[in-house]
Amino acid sequence: MPAAHVVLTYWAPRSHSGCVLKGKKMIHRNAWAAALIGASAITFSPAIAGEQEDALIAKVVDAYGGDKLTSLKSIRIQDSYKNAFPGQGYTPGFVEFTALAQDAQLDLVNKRGSVEAWASNWNGAFHVRTVTDDDGVDTINYLSNTYQPAAFADYYAAYGAVIRVTDTLLAFELSNNAESAEYAGASTYLGQPHEMITFEMPSSPPVTLHINADTGLISQMTRATGFGALSYQFRDHAKSGGVTYARDFEFFVGPDVNILTLSRDVTVNRVRSNSFSIDRGISEEPARVDTSEMTVEEIAEGVHHVGTGNAYTVFVDAGDYLIAAGGYAGLSNRLEAYRETIGNEKPLQYQIVTHHHTDHLGGMGDALELGVTFVVPQNAVDNLRTAAGGEITDDRLQILDEKRTIGPVEVYDIWTSHAESYGLVYIPSSKAVFQVDHYNGVYEDAPSPAGIGAVTLKDAIARLGLDVETVLSGHGRIAESWANFEAAVANYDPSPCPTGRAICASATN
């Protein structure tokens, strides 16, 4: 699932305790997410800042405006980006980019924020705003005109991504967290001498600033997470209201570029208090289904939908063996929950790989250890081999070509807006399809919002002439009725900027 800059999500498999088995007739009831990779389990024990640290911090503060920096009340950062999707694009052969705009307003005194983000690519548009209002932190979805409580209520968890991509705010936080700072040595960066200082920032692993030894400006910030080494690079410095900022920002995950700045405008001490409220006409979204615990839900006899959070697998009993589709990390946990709840110890013989996106291959190491045969689109084979972390012999690969029938399951090679080659899973006996990244049922009693992915999925199902009553998702717990799915598709607005708000109106003109 493509993720853009303010929104890289991380999910860790939960314990399977508290499994729930629903009756044979499941009640058919009736999202971008959170921030540039949050905290990891890395710890840091700094010494109390000494003279060397104090001198370097003073140099940074002076370079960024001195008293004007330390007395900063508010800041607004308006960015236009190109966001790359290594391993997540429409095709596996090269990296594709998405347009992304962000308007961030932070009240540094009262620790409030408003961050509006808009993106548009081959898989549709995305338009949200995370805002601190009178009731806490909420996330507005402008495409559905609804809001919900944000995933993170803490200021740094909600807005830390903005701080980390803005060198001015890193300098501000360094000044305010000086007691945790530790000198990290000298280095050469882009042919110029630099000094490094590491300090603690809430809701993040320790960050290391690479400071130009001559100018005191921040050229780079690095930090280590479970996703690998992250590098935030800053260049082309200017001033706004006497405060320095970098107009050029780039973000790398390991060696791969993730964000390229097209433009950045910064204004200081001009954010208004009415920025921190929910817009008129925005209503609270319908109640979401609880996904906090592992659930094992029967869709039909021999067909079970298993998972928690945003990772679900469908298991189909084929008589002497099991077939699975849905390859997010934690596959073994979901299989164990299924076996404990159902009492079915049959071997998992086939794992259906839906497409080449690396996030949906996180559980393929588990599948390899279980001895499965993989059913996979041709263009996903290389990514599958890499993700599995071990040798997959050719006899354990069944390449998907138009259609393949495996016991009670049919798998069709289709194209949609999400991927050029995609394995759609159809279970004729239950008239159910399993898919990921096209439509996620998240509401208890209402259709979920649909994007272009759902539209092209519906078109593909129509071309195949499949009789479908239920739509299952690898990202959502709800087994959505076909009627709700059709209603969601009918409500889709193809405009990349249906709200007409300034952040996207200017980008689409």
Indicate whether 413 belongs to any domain: yes
Indicate whether 27 belongs to any domain: no
**Between the CA of residue 107 and those of 73, 113, 130, 201, 245, what are the distances in Å?**
6, 6, 14, 17, 17
Task: Mark the ranges of the chain whose per-residue pLDDT is less than 70.
Answer: 1-49, 506-509
Distance CA 276, CA 138 (A): 10
Indicate whether 509 belongs to any domain: no
Tell whether 273 and 301 lie within a shared domain: no
**Per-residue pLDDT tens digits for 174-203:** 999 999 999 999 999 999 999 999 999 998
Q: Are 411 and 423 in contact (CB under 8 A)?
A: yes
Q: What are phi and psi of 171, to 5 degrees?
A: -65, -40
Distance CA 323, CA 308 (A): 19
Domain ranges, residue 163: 51-283
What pLDDT is stored for residue 42 in this prediction? 35
Tell whether 340 and 207 lie within a shared domain: no
161: domain CATH number?
A: 2.50.20.10
453: domain CATH number?
A: 3.60.15.10
What is the secondary structure of 317-377 as a DSSP string? E-SSSEEEE---S-HHHHHHHHHHHH-----EEEEE---S-GGGGTTHHHHHHTTPEEEEE
Identify the bridge partners of residue 310 per DSSP, sorted by sequence position.
none
What pLDDT is stored for residue 43 in this prediction? 37
What pLDDT is stored for residue 85 in this prediction? 78
Tell whether 129 and 278 lie within a shared domain: yes
Q: Which of 283, 314, 349 is the C-terminal boundary of a domain?
A: 283
Residue found by looking up tokens 């830390």 in the block: 160
What pLDDT is stored for residue 440 in this prediction? 94
Longest dimension (CA), the chain: 74
Tell whether 217 and 360 lie within a shared domain: no
Q: What are phi and psi of 387, to 5 degrees?
A: -65, -35
Indicate whether 18 belongs to any domain: no
Q: Which of 241, 266, 283 is the C-terminal boundary of a domain?
A: 283
Distance CA 22, CA 73 (A): 53
Tell whether 305 and 257 lie within a shared domain: no
Tell whether 213 and 200 lie within a shared domain: yes
Indicate whether 500 belongs to any domain: no
Tell whether 194 and 291 lie within a shared domain: no
| Residues sharing a CB contact under 8 Å with residue 58, sequence separation 6 or more, in sequence order | none
**Per-residue pLDDT tens digits for 61-104:** 999 999 999 999 999 999 999 998 777 889 888 788 889 999 99
Indicate whether 408 belongs to any domain: yes
**Between the CA of residue 343 and those of 19, 101, 325, 335, 346, what are the distances in Å?**
12, 50, 20, 11, 9
What pLDDT is stored for residue 18 in this prediction? 35
What pLDDT is stored for residue 88 in this prediction? 85
Tell whether 212 and 94 lie within a shared domain: yes
- Compute CA 227 distance to the chain's CA centroid, rounded to the nearest angstrom: 12
Q: How far apart are the first and last CA of the chain?
A: 27
Indicate whether 420 belongs to any domain: yes
Tell whether 454 and 351 lie within a shared domain: yes
What pLDDT is stored for residue 507 in this prediction? 63
**Between the CA of residue 89 and those of 6, 72, 83, 231, what are the distances in Å?**
18, 40, 11, 22
DSSP structure class, residue 450: -
User: What DSSP element (H or E) covers 462?
Assistant: helix 452-464
Tell whether 361 and 414 lie within a shared domain: yes
Q: Which of 283, 315, 344 is the C-terminal boundary of a domain?
A: 283
User: What DSSP element (H or E) covers 163?
Assistant: helix 155-164
What pLDDT is stored for residue 12 in this prediction? 28
Domain count for the chain, please give it.
2
Tell whether 260 and 326 lie within a shared domain: no
Token pair in block for residue 252 = 């790398």
Tell whether 364 and 267 lie within a shared domain: no
Indicate whether 29 belongs to any domain: no
